[in-house]
Amino acid sequence: MKQLLSKLARSISLFTFSCIVSVGTLLLYNIPFFRYVADNTNENVGGQIFLLASLVVIMLVLNFMITYLVMFLLRIAGRILLAILALINATAVYFIITYSVMIDATTIENVFNTRYSEASGFFSWSLWLFIVIFGVLPAIWCLLQPVVIGKAKKLGVCCGSSLAIILLVALANINQTLWISQHDTELGGLLQPWSYLVNTGRVISFSQDEQAEEIKLPDGKITDNEKAVVVLIIGESARKANFQLYGYERNTNPLLSKQPELKVYQATSCATYTTAGSKAILEPKITDDLYEILPNYAFRTGVDVSWRTSNWGEPPVHIDEYISNTELAKHYPNENEDYDGILFAGLRERIMSSKKNKVLIILHTSTSHGPNYADNYPKDFEVYKPVAKNVEEGEKNIGLLVNAYDNTIRYTDFLLDSLVNTLRTMEDWKSAMIYISDHGESLGENKMFMHGLPMRLAPKVQYEIPFLVWTSKGFRDYKSEDELPAVLEQHYIFHSVLNLLSIDSPAYNKDCDIFKTVHIQGI
């Protein structure tokens, strides 16, 4: 120990320090990057070796130059920055290896929008051990290792030489430009620390570019006085593949499968993460702009709107009644706020007490959210046993993970069926239940777990979603199959709900409505 401390106390040059950091960054944090290159290049053995060697040189030299600059210019602050990067690098690589994720802009946005209660599900002894070995120890070395900074002249020589080497190697691989552009998302998502540094900058830039206020839609008006209520349930991470209603071999929908008026549609999500998926459900069209979303527009038009949530990530909701599961628990102490059943508590009374004839209830659920699927349903619904407690445990036995996930679908089935039965008792109201998920989920297929991959890379289980509709008798007629696309998109919700609530609006698009147009004549 004394010898180690003695060696650590010896000063090294900034050149040597930068070399060690550069080599360490490559070996500790970028093996998945090189594995991807090796597995996906179309070059012969010689070309593959040359490409890999070139990337190694570029990475080593680039990291060396950046480390040299940071330490020379920032000194103590530079040490702290390098230590922080080591911790983040270790965390990023752990998730890349464990969950097959890529650290792209989508992933960064998910990180920014994740609550502690959900993030805590990823904490495990293996994660902490990984961070200690590959993050904390390198960070301590960066903080404590004495370094002789040297003169500015050497800085110029090192940086100039580094840039020259990078340029020469890049020119030698000019024929790889097309391949790199085709795989830029994957390469950028695996390269540490540049993956999260660059993509964090992109997310911040995107957020600054967004308009401070949503774009208002043209004014609409309610065209009749019939009592009508729509309950829209936004599912979380529910994939079509595990619904019995879509042909799944397990009996995951024992109740809904017996509902005679239930309609089942094929649908896909526009993204593989909650923020974009929930936005697409609530907006009139798929766009990067923030238009007035369904609850805000309906509320402004005169509809009684209530939003109940156990989730997060939706666009800004501007209504009078926005209630979290925690707040609901104060009104319904007999319901457990840990499960989505709390969102359905007292709905009949809430609707019947409305002073308006048009009511829209939106329930933003979290039932199938990972990684701890087994924590999202009451134990009475643990039909499939045994279960994995979380995704990390489920990696060792995919069957146990699927059991836990399928139990969340059984619980969803119970909640939706109970809602339909409740609405059916409200004979004075025309009513509808619409259920659609924000995105799908991977459960170990091709060693992928959960969601969040870019759409062009994502497997279909991450974007093929359930879309279920029930209406009371005499409410609205459905369009025939030949009047609709074979696969619907999420923004069909917006226009279908306008129809159900008899809202006449220029924003309405009859082509994106699953019902026959009766009361409204929009464009």
Q: Mind listing the pLDDT tens digit for each residue in 409-426?
A: 999 999 999 999 999 999
Q: How confident is the model at residue 210 (pLDDT cuts 50, 70, 90)?
A: very low
Q: How confident is the model at residue 488 (pLDDT cuts 50, 70, 90)?
A: very high
H/E stretch holding 358 = strand 358-364
Domain locations in the chain as residue ranges: 2-209, 221-512
DSSP type of residue 145? S
pLDDT given at position 181: 64
Q: How far apart are CA 344 and CA 364, in angstroms?
A: 11
- For residue 521, the model assigns a pLDDT of 45
pLDDT, greater one: 230 or 113: 230
Sequence-distant (≥ 6) Cβ neighbours of residue 37 within 8 angstroms: 51, 52, 55, 187
Cβ–Cβ under 8 Å, residues 268 and 437? no
What is the CATH architecture of 221-512? 3-Layer(aba) Sandwich (3.40)
| pLDDT (0 to 100) of residue 133 | 92
Is the confidence at residue 390, as pLDDT, over 80? yes
CB-CB contact of 301 with 220 (8 Å): yes
- pLDDT for 211: 46
pLDDT level of residue 394 (50, 70, 90 thresholds): confident
Q: What is the mean pLDDT of residues 178-194?
A: 76
> In sequence order, what are the residues at sequence separation of 6 or more whose Cβ sits closer than 8 angstroms to the Cβ of residue 360?
229, 230, 232, 294, 295, 298, 303, 304, 305, 306, 497, 501
Q: What pLDDT sits at residue 64?
A: 93
pLDDT (0 to 100) of residue 443: 94
pLDDT at 98 over 90: no
3-state class (DSSP) for residue 488? strand
Region 44-59: mean pLDDT is 87
- The pTM for the full model equals 0.75
Per-residue pLDDT tens over the stretch 435-452: 999 999 999 998 888 888
DSSP 192: T
The pLDDT, as a whole number, for residue 454 is: 79
Instruction: Tell me which of 8 and 455 has the higher pLDDT.
Output: 455
Confidence of residue 81 (pLDDT cuts 50, 70, 90): very high
| pLDDT value of position 209 | 44
Least Cα distance to 33 among 180, 138, 220 occurs for: 180
| pLDDT in the model for residue 176 | 76
Task: Give residue 121's pLDDT.
Answer: 59
Q: Output the average pLDDT for the chain.
A: 88
Lowest pLDDT segment from 7-11, 243-247, 285-289, 369-373: 7-11
Instruction: Give the least confident one: 20-29, 37-46, 242-251, 315-324.
Output: 37-46
Kindly state the average pLDDT of the residues 160-164. 90
User: Could you tell me which residue, 195 or 364, shows the higher pLDDT?
Assistant: 364
Give the pLDDT confidence score for residue 350 in this predicted structure: 96
SS3 content of the chain, % helix, strand, coil (to 5): 55, 10, 35
Q: Does 113 have pLDDT greater than 80?
A: no
Q: What percent of the chain has pLDDT over 70?
A: 91
